[in-house]
Amino acid sequence: MKRTVENEVVIVGGGICGLATALALHRKRIRSLVLEKSEKLRATGAAIIVQANGWHALDQLGIGSTLRQTAIAIQRGMFTSLSEKEPKELAFGINQEFRCLKRTDLIKAIANCLPMETIRTGCEVLSIELDPVTRYPHLMLSNGTILQAKLIYQVVIGCDGVNSTIANMVGLHQTKLLRFSTCVARGFTKYPNGHQFASEFALISRGQIQLGRIPVTHNLVYWFLTRPTTSQDSIISKDLPLIRQSLVESMEGFPILTIDMIRSCKLNSLHLTYDLKYRPPWDLLLNNFKKGTIVVAGDAMHATGPFIAQGGSASIEDAIVLARCLAQKMHNSTKVIIDHNVIEEAFDKYVKERKMRIFWLSLHTFLVGKKLDTKSLMVRAVFLAIMFVLFRDPDCHSRYNCGTLHHEEED
């Protein structure tokens, strides 16, 4: 007989990871409450590349087939260096399923499958403490500067992104975050009569400037541009026409078709991330990611930077593994009130399963990011050589399978 676990799990942060975790738990009949500090769910950054591993995770959540209808399948990748004549094939992740999703489609698809009142927006978690007697976490919530409530929950999952409050609690201090000196602008360009681009991921580079272009549908194209960060970027990032102007200025020598694409982009889809923080790979190896019944997932655990387009998919994988581990332990427990140790065992299992996966993703992103950060051809060659040795298989990350949400003991 199916048993619904009455214990409530609180998830801090309603981004991709928080929502995916709530849905994965819901699929395992565990109730959760998502606390999101923004007034409504956000989908900043236009689109997200999802490779085969991410699609597998979305299928486990039961939303893969709905989302496939919103984004065309990308057939191949092409890399063009403007200093060389011939384009080369770009193998990275393309040999398997590869699509680019509108972030709003992804967020909506997940949120629509959650029971009513799972998500509480406008609810920021200010701090978290462990009760000295029960060892259960206390969450301090705030509305602006006014302390609004004090809630007590047994299980807390921190999905509150790169500047995570919960990560501090488990020892992943924000002061340990480092920064890339490359910035990334992203946006959409709409072609009401259809665009002429092939179903391919095109990457065009000149020196330290790189432009990526991926069709989402037959009349919508997602693109991103990476360039060295400048001292003006904090000002530029606040002014959409200025972002567009700065991008066009940096694209000297790029094909006119790509410059026109940026010129005619949807202004309200534009976003410039100039302060790209990442948790260094070695920090991931040294940390535990949990304290008592508190654990972290998504960027709160492994902010990697965007350079291999895996952060979002890795966050959905976290959700699947975490829900599976929790459900296995909680459903097997004979006690009505779930014991502290049961939760800790589940979290230990989750951390063990995720650690090396996110280490390799993080190391690869670090190497690609550092290669972009440097002007020195010598240093670039060193990073390329390391990557050639460690990540020669272009599908090594996308072939990863986080497993299923189903487990033998249920049904």
Find the binder of ligand FAD among 10, 12, 90, 236 (CB under 6 A).
12
* Contact positions with ligand FAD (CB under 6 A) in 163-182: 165
Contact 63, 187 (CB under 8 A): no
- Residue number, 154 or 165, with CB nearest to ligand FAD: 165
Smallest distance, Å, CB 142 to ligand FAD?
Answer: 9
Helical (H) or strand (E) element with 302: helix 299-302
Contact 237, 275 (CB under 8 A): no
- Residue number, 58 or 300, with CB nearest to ligand FAD: 300
Instruction: Give buried/exposed letters for 95-131 (b at 16+ CB in 10 A, else e).
Output: bebbbbbbbebbbbbbbebbeeebbeeebbbeebeee
Does 273 bind ligand FAD (CB under 6 A)? Our answer is: yes
Helical (H) or strand (E) element with 235: helix 233-236
Stretch that binds ligand FAD, among 73-81, 295-303, 358-366, 385-393 (CB under 6 A): 295-303
Stretch that binds ligand FAD, among 68-76, 159-167, 189-197, 241-249 (CB under 6 A): 159-167
Smallest distance, Å, CB 184 to ligand FAD?
Answer: 4
Find the binder of ligand FAD among 5, 9, 10, 15 (CB under 6 A).
15
143: number of Cβ within 10 Å: 12
Cα gap 404→25, rounded to integer Å: 13
The values of phi and psi at residue 147, to 5°, are -70, 120
- Residue number, 124 or 338, with CB nearest to ligand FAD: 124
Smallest distance, Å, CB 364 to ligand FAD?
Answer: 13
Cα gap 163→277, rounded to integer Å: 9
Smallest distance, Å, CB 154 to ligand FAD?
Answer: 18
Does 299 bind ligand FAD (CB under 6 A)? Our answer is: yes
Does 18 bind ligand FAD (CB under 6 A)? Our answer is: yes
Report the length, in residues, of the chain. 411
Strand 137-143 versus strand 146-152 pairing type: antiparallel
Residues ≥6 apart with Cβ < 8 Å to 348 = 290
- Residue number, 59 or 410, with CB nearest to ligand FAD: 59
Does 315 bind ligand FAD (CB under 6 A)? Our answer is: yes
* Contact positions with ligand FAD (CB under 6 A) in 30-49: 35-38, 42, 45, 48-49
- Residue number, 103 or 195, with CB nearest to ligand FAD: 103
| Residue ranges in 31-144 assigned as alpha helix (H) | 52-61, 64-68, 103-112
Does 233 bind ligand FAD (CB under 6 A)? Our answer is: no
Three-state secondary structure call for residue 46:
coil
Find the binder of ligand FAD among 184, 204, 358, 368 (CB under 6 A).
184
- Residue number, 283 or 299, with CB nearest to ligand FAD: 299
Does 159 bind ligand FAD (CB under 6 A)? Our answer is: yes
Cα gap 99→251, rounded to integer Å: 26
* Contact positions with ligand FAD (CB under 6 A) in 92-131: 124-125
Cα gap 295→302, rounded to integer Å: 12
Cα gap 179→305, rounded to integer Å: 9
Find the binder of ligand FAD among 9, 16, 251, 330 (CB under 6 A).
16
Cα gap 141→2, rounded to integer Å: 34
What is the size of the binding site for ligand FAD (CB under 6 A)?
34
Closest CA to 109 of 316, 291, 262: 316
Does 137 bind ligand FAD (CB under 6 A)? Our answer is: no
Does 309 bind ligand FAD (CB under 6 A)? Our answer is: yes
Q: Which residues bind ligand FAD (CB under 6 A)?
A: 12-18, 35-38, 42, 45, 48-49, 124-125, 159-161, 165, 184, 186, 273, 298-300, 306, 309-313, 315
